[in-house]
């Protein structure tokens, strides 16, 4: 349910590789999955094999997790109100529930009925009446997802949508596959979810661009073994009667979130966590997001408010650059 397609060239500020006497082999691959364009770039003698294995894994997980496939595991669970789950589906659901617990449900994988009600899945957009939302809200509660061993059960007519975490989970798997194939330098963009492995072939750090909602770059970030994932209301929206409605739905209200934020970037070594947190913090707003960061301590953030103010957490103060003024968030 997140992130309209942004090509790698629009998101990455990459400097050219050094000219060496023995050039490092570079391999690239473009894959379309999970409704978006995915760009993979790896370096090393096994880069081609690593990319082929990564493409196979992307195809497999797409068929497992996407609601777009009527026979996917997620679709079958939704259709049957539960069922047995594979190791990957169990892992992604458990990761999502952890984020839900820590954010008081600001991230919620049982959001599917609301996504459908607003038309963001079908692209047949619709501003629902308050009565329609009230009818749907009991279904959109992550507590409706119940685990029992290797099975799950969905209560109260709930349905799952893993779109807010699936690409982050997938980026973790791609990085794991690269490592298994001996690749120690790579960068991937899965529909705008960027994740890096090691340093560039010339020994410098990868530079990842963070988009300004108004166009251009809000800033750039040096990244080493990190996922850099952004959520913003500008990524998918529609207009009706002169008002704009974006796709990041607050599970508590059933309405597009109005938290005072227009862009949230999460930096973490865990792509799945970064993916889910980017949505959660967007829903929570700056103050609650900062409290979450202080309590967790294992990720960093770049926040932009609807007034155009930029805030970054202290963990990236030496690696973030911007032409705009920004304020530092500290734990003191």
- What was the pLDDT predicted at 13? 39
Q: What is the pLDDT of residue 182?
A: 94
Are 96 and 109 in contact by the 8 Å Cβ rule? The answer is yes
Percent of the chain residues topping a pLDDT of 90:
86
What separation in angstroms does the CA of 111 have from each of 139, 163, 248, 259?
8, 10, 10, 18
Q: What is the mean pLDDT of residues 291-296?
A: 95
CATH architecture designation of domain 8-46+184-329: Roll (3.10)
pLDDT value at residue 149: 87
H-helix or E-strand containing 290? helix 286-296
Contacts of 78 (CB under 8 A, 6+ apart): 67, 112, 154, 159, 160
Local confidence band at 191 (pLDDT 50, 70, 90 cut-offs): confident
Q: Both tokens of residue 18?
A: 């050094």
**Cα angle, residue 150 at apex, residues 146 and 154 outer, rounded to 5°:** 25
pLDDT over 70 at 11, yes or no:
no
pLDDT score of 134: 97
The predicted pLDDT at position 25 comes to 85
Q: Is beta strand 26-33 parallel, antiparallel or unpaired with respect to 36-43?
A: antiparallel
Range from 13-17, 79-83, 201-205, 293-297 carrying the lowest mean pLDDT: 13-17
DSSP code, position 172? H
> What is the Cβ-side half-sphere exposure of residue 40, based on CA atoms within 13 angstroms?
28
Average pLDDT of the segment spanning 189-208:
94
The C-alpha torsion from 142 through 145 and 146 to 152, rounded to 10°, is -150
Cα 1 to Cα 38: distance, rounded to the nearest angstrom: 16
Helix (H, G, I), strand (E, B) or coil at 265: strand
Confidence band for 22, pLDDT divided at 50, 70 and 90: low
The residue extents of the domains of the chain are: 8-46+184-329
Helix (H, G, I), strand (E, B) or coil at 177: helix
pLDDT above 70 covers a percentage of the chain that reads: 93
Choose among 67, 212, 73, 217: nearest CA to 151: 73
Mean pLDDT of the chain: 92
Beta bridge partners of residue 230, listed in sequence order:
265
CA-angle at 264, arms to 58 and 312, nearest 5°: 120
Give the range among 78-82, 108-112, 234-238, 322-326 with minimum mean pLDDT: 234-238
Mean pLDDT of 61-85: 96
Helix (H, G, I), strand (E, B) or coil at 103: coil
> What mean pLDDT comes out for the span 135-157?
95
pTM of the prediction?
Answer: 0.92
What would the two tokens of residue 132 be? 């329609």
> Average pLDDT in the 100-121 region?
97
Q: What is the dihedral of CA 192, 232, 280, 311, to 10 degrees?
A: 100
- Distance in angstroms (rounded) separating the CA atoms of residues 122 and 115: 9
């Amino acid at each position: 349910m997140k992130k309209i397609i942004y090509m790698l060239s629009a998101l990455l500020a990459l400097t050219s590789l050094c000219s060496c006497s023995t050039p490092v082999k570079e391999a690239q691959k473009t894959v379309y999955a999970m409704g978006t364009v995915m760009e993979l770039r790896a370096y090393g003698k096994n880069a081609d094999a690593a990319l082929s294995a990564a493409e196979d894994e992307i195809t497999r997980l797409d068929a497992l997790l996407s609601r777009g496939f009527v026979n996917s595991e997620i679709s079958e669970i939704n259709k049957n109100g539960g069922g047995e789950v594979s190791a990957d589906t169990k892992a992604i659901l458990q990761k999502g529930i952890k984020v839900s617990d820590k954010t008081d449900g600001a991230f919620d994988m049982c959001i599917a009925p609301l996504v459908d009600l607003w038309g963001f899945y079908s692209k047949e957009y619709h501003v629902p009446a308050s009565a329609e939302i009230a009818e749907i809200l009991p279904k959109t509660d992550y507590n409706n997802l119940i685990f029992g061993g290797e099975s799950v059960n969905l209560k109260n007519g709930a349905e799952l949508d893993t779109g807010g975490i699936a690409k982050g989970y997938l980026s973790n798997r791609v990085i794991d596959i690269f490592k298994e194939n001996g690749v120690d330098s790579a960068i991937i963009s899965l529909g705008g979810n960027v994740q890096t492995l090691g340093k560039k072939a010339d020994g410098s750090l990868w530079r990842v661009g963070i988009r300004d909602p108004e166009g251009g770059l809000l800033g750039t970030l040096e990244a080493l073994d990190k996922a850099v994932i952004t959520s913003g209301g500008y990524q998918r929206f529609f207009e009706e009667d002169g008002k704009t409605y974006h796709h990041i739905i607050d599970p508590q209200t059933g309405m597009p979130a109005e938290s005072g934020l227009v862009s949230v970037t999460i930096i973490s070594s865990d792509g799945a966590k970064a993916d889910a947190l980017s949505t959660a913090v967007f829903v929570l707003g700056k103050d609650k997001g900062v409290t979450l960061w202080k309590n967790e301590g294992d990720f960093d953030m770049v926040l932009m408010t609807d007034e155009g103010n930029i805030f970054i957490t202290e963990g990236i103060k030496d690696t973030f650059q911007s032409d705009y003024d920004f304020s530092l968030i500290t734990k003191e």
